Amino acid sequence: MKNVTAVDARWIAPAAQDTPMVSFSAPLEAPSPSYDAARDLTLCYVQPTFGGHQWQLPPHQMVLPGGGAHAEEQLRWFARFLLEGKVVPALGKLRKHLNLKPAMITNKHSAKKIVALLQALGAHNVRSRAALRARWARHPSFLKDVLGSWLQRDFVGSLDRVWKRLLQEELRD
């Protein structure tokens, strides 16, 4: 055989991503989505298929879709990463004072504080650190009360001091 090239199946999905030859599943549950701080993106794994015969390719990591059916899921994962301190490291210091685990957000629970957080983020299209910082630059109290509802009662009084420092760190750059 002449002019034959070996092709690794992992190359196909990224190379054919914007063509009708490849289609992607809904985000996979495992491995779960992650936050890439360097790129300020929420990433997920999907199961791609290729060609008319829909050959399955290895799982592929891509940006978690934010539109259509996946809009709420992207918002839930961003909110979780925010409370875990992956988006804003200063919020990670509050994690031990939370009265509900951030993982509850992506378990589709509908506690009042989860709904309030998702509504606040969604209403202002905050799905990235850059968008959050821009919102804080215009409205420094954005999310303060909502995040206060996530704190244990004995720590709520310290929120003003922590919030001021958090904003100074985030808006300094």
pLDDT digits (tens, 9 = 90+) for 107-140: 987 889 999 999 999 999 999 999 999 999 999 9
Do 132 and 86 have their domain in common? yes
| Side chain identity at residue 4, one-letter code | V
Give the range of the structural domain holding residue 58, as residue numbers without chain letter: 9-64
Residue 29 lies in a domain: yes
Do 133 and 159 have their domain in common? yes
User: HEC states along 110-127?
Assistant: CCHHHHHHHHHHHHCCCC
Residue 2 lies in a domain: no
User: HEC states along the chain?
Assistant: CCCCCCCCHHHHHHHHCCCCCEEECCCCCCCCCEEECCCCEEEEEECEEECCCCEECCCEEEECCCCHHHHHHHHHHHHHHHHHCCCCHHHHCCHHHECCCCHHHHCCCCCHHHHHHHHHHHHCCCCCHHHHHHHHHHCCCCCHHHHHCCECHHHHCCHHHHHHHHHHHHHHC
Do 87 and 150 have their domain in common? yes
Write down the pLDDT at residue 173. 62
Residue 164 lies in a domain: yes
Residue 86 lies in a domain: yes
Residue 4 lies in a domain: no
Do 54 and 13 have their domain in common? yes
pLDDT digits (tens, 9 = 90+) for 27-44: 998 999 999 999 999 999
Residue 1 lies in a domain: no
Do 38 and 78 have their domain in common? no
Last residue of some domain: 23, 47, 64?
64
Bridge partner list, 61 = 45
Do 125 and 89 have their domain in common? yes
Do 100 and 152 have their domain in common? yes
Give me the number of domains the chain comprises.
Answer: 2
Write down the pLDDT at residue 172. 82
Residue 127 lies in a domain: yes
pLDDT digits (tens, 9 = 90+) for 75-115: 999 999 999 999 999 888 888 999 999 999 999 878 899 99
Do 77 and 131 have their domain in common? yes
Q: Tell which wins on pLDDT, 19 or 126.
A: 126
Last residue of some domain: 64, 88, 110?
64
